[in-house]
Amino acid sequence: MKRICVLAVIAITALSGCASGKFLGFLATTDYVDRQTKEQAAEIASLKVQLADFQSIKVQAQAAIDQVNESQKTIQDLQALAKRAEARIGQIPQEVIKRIINILQASQDQ
């Protein structure tokens, strides 16, 4: 009989705490759940904003990487062009180069 009384007291205490939400703090009430839901919704919204910011930064970083890659390709193209020009200049006879230099110097003197 004592066990039933003790269990009845515990049950009444638990139920009263659940109903009021003030007696037993460890029991989840609807107010507590609503508060937690609102807090988590606010946190999720904040995380979505941060994610959008990170996505924007990612897009900007990719654009910068693409620009660097394009610059490297342009530099490689210019280096290849310079080598071809050097090879073509190397094929010009020395006498022709001397005449071109003389003509250029003569045009500067005038």
**Which of 23, 19, 42 is closest to 31 using CA atoms?**
19
For position 90, what pLDDT does the model report?
84
Phi, psi of 23 (to 5 degrees): -80, -50
At residue 1, the pLDDT reads 75
Q: What is the pLDDT of residue 108?
A: 87
Instruction: Look at 32-36, 53-57, 58-62, 77-81 and tell me which has the smallest mean pLDDT.
Output: 32-36
